[in-house]
């Protein structure tokens, strides 16, 4: 059974789609758009929007599944309820984003966070309450450092990636620097007195 079309029938006669399972009534639809403002003072003249973070969109749906469309009485109706409940189990186990259309709005990349299925002795139906959260996707972007902004030692290497930065030649170090480096390595290995790393005052 597909996990891409779960259908609700609203009080207006339109159908909300989440997969291939048709629910017989959409009782409620709640869209939650939360944002969080900083608790710290914002500098006068600073950007307010930089101090407010937006949470992912959330959706809460309540609907009902009945056996009425297959048969009023008998095993056929119960089979519909069993299959409908199994679809919710599959959604829970799959943990994959789905698309939801309620007839009033469309939601994409939604993941089910909670599903509560309840049944009473009032008839052949059960009520389902589902909470969904939108998955926010980010794209990795890389940039290069302009040549004119690079340090003198990086000239000729800026503006390109995977370019070797070169190696330090021991011959370019003064005798004092070479001795300091040797003393530091020996101290690290436990040979000789403890010294500061070269270049640290």
Q: Residue 183: which residues within 8 A CB-CB, separation 6 or more?
A: 192, 193, 195
122: left (phi over 0), alpha (psi -120 to 50) or beta: alpha
Last residue of a domain, one of 77, 103, 134: 134
Residue 22 domain boundaries: 6-36+51-134
Q: Residue 39: which residues within 8 A CB-CB, separation 6 or more?
A: none
When divided into structural domains, the chain yields a total of 2
pLDDT value of residue 4? 36
Q: Residue 178: which residues within 8 A CB-CB, separation 6 or more?
A: 170
Cα–Cα distance measured from residue 68 to residue 43, given in angstroms and rounded to the nearest whole number: 62
pLDDT value of residue 71? 41
Task: Quote the DSSP letter at residue 75.
Answer: H
Yes or no: say if 107 and 33 are a contact pair by the CB < 8 Å rule.
no
Looking at the fold, whether 14 and 104 belong to one and the same domain comes out as yes
Q: What is the pTM of this model?
A: 0.59
Q: Residue 86: which residues within 8 A CB-CB, separation 6 or more?
A: 1
Last residue of a domain, one of 82, 106, 134: 134
Yes or no: say if 57 and 31 are a contact pair by the CB < 8 Å rule.
yes
Query: Is there a domain that residue 161 lies in?
Result: no
pLDDT value of residue 115? 94
pLDDT value of residue 151? 62
Across the chain, which has 201 residues, the per-10-residue mean pLDDT values are: 41 54 79 93 85 93 76 57 86 88 85 92 84 90 69 59 58 71 73 61 50
pLDDT value of residue 5? 40
Last residue of a domain, one of 134, 158, 183: 134
pLDDT value of residue 9? 44
How many Cβ atoms from other residues are within 10 Å of residue 87's Cβ? 19
Query: Is there a domain that residue 139 lies in?
Result: no
CA–CA distance from 98 to each of 4, 16, 88, 89, 120 (Å)? Answer: 6, 13, 12, 14, 29
Task: Quote the DSSP letter at residue 20.
Answer: S
Query: Is there a domain that residue 156 lies in?
Result: no
pLDDT value of residue 52? 92
103: left (phi over 0), alpha (psi -120 to 50) or beta: left
pLDDT value of residue 79? 80
pLDDT value of residue 11? 43
């Amino acid at each position: 059974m597909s996990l891409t079309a779960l259908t609700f029938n609203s009080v207006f006669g339109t159908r909300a789609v989440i997969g291939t399972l048709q629910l017989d009534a959409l009782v409620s639809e709640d869209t939650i758009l939360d944002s969080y403002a900083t608790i710290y003072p914002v500098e006068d003249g600073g950007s307010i929007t930089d101090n407010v973070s937006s949470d992912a969109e959330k959706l809460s749906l309540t609907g009902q599944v009945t056996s009425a469309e297959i048969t009023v009485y008998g095993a056929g109706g119960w089979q519909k309820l069993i299959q409908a409940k199994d679809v919710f189990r599959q959604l829970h186990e799959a943990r994959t984003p789905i698309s939801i259309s309620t007839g009033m709005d469309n939601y994409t990349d939604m993941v089910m966070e909670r599903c509560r299925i309840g049944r009473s002795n009032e008839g052949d139906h059960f009520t389902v309450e589902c909470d969904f959260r939108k998955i926010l996707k980010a794209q990795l972007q890389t940039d290069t450092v302009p040549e004119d902004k690079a340090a003198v030692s990086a000239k000729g290497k800026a503006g390109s990636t995977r370019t070797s930065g070169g190696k330090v030649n021991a011959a370019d170090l003064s005798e004092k620097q070479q001795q300091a480096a040797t003393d530091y390595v020996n101290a690290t290995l436990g040979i000789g007195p403890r010294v500061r790393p070269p270049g640290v005052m």
